[in-house]
Amino acid sequence: MGFGSMSADMARVLMIAARCRLNILVSGGTGSGKTTLLNALSQYASEDERIVTIEDAAELKLLQPHVVRLETRAASTENTGAVSQRDLVINALRMRPDRIILGECRGSEAFEMLQAMNTGHDGSMSTLHANTPRDAMARVEAMVMMANLSLPLEAIRRTIVSAVNLVVQVNRLRDGSRKITSIAEVVGLEGDSVVMEEIFRFEAAETQQLEQVQGKFTTGGIMQRSELVKRAKFFGLEDELMAAFRGD
């Protein structure tokens, strides 16, 4: 926040979303700060939760006492012994996790991750490469298709909509700064389209200085039927959430 990567109100909403166990996807390009943000969000998980992390290389630094760390393994010279992210997600479900945190979703493991989000592992999080929240939804669709499940597209979209609650878009701007440019909530499905409600966004100023990107963080408010509002009520955080949208 001190670097101008988000506003204080955005930080409060993300903290509440993590504490209320919403399923969160962090989307962005290479070097945009996805893993750093995922690490920050994971700190708001409760200390009595059992968390399973799945990564290629251990980058997440969780401070909770009940953390199980799983890492992928490349095949040996004999082309045996490989352990993929999909294998680890499937096995993680047998470890009674409260949350699963997947370092980066980039292939067929996306389907198992969505299944985990849909079957009582609320508060699960992951990152993926995409340029906008809507692109992130399309990318998840493509990754599920990589699992060769022959599922119809409508079934894949329904699974995504019921699993993912929040998409946080991070970008590295031309001046090298990293900002959260959008926080969008997945609302539902209308026809063939995934409906998303942007609750915060970064708006660049019309006149720009050469060396630094200027702009401001804005919000259009939040709907009362929002899943974030429902969860905040359940966890007793509704007043704090509404205060963040009012800028109190």
Output Rg (C-alpha) for the chain, integer angstroms. Answer: 18
Q: What is the pLDDT of residue 175?
A: 82
CB 27, CB 133: distance < 8 Å: yes
Closest C-alpha among 18, 14, 238, 239 to residue 124: 18
3-state percent helix, strand, coil for the chain, nearest multiple of 5: 35, 25, 40
Confidence check: pLDDT of 149 > 80: no
Domains of the chain, earliest start first = 8-238 (3.40.50.300)
pLDDT digits (tens, 9 = 90+) for 112-144: 899 889 888 899 999 999 999 999 999 999 999
pLDDT band at 1 (very low <50, low <70, confident <90, very high): low
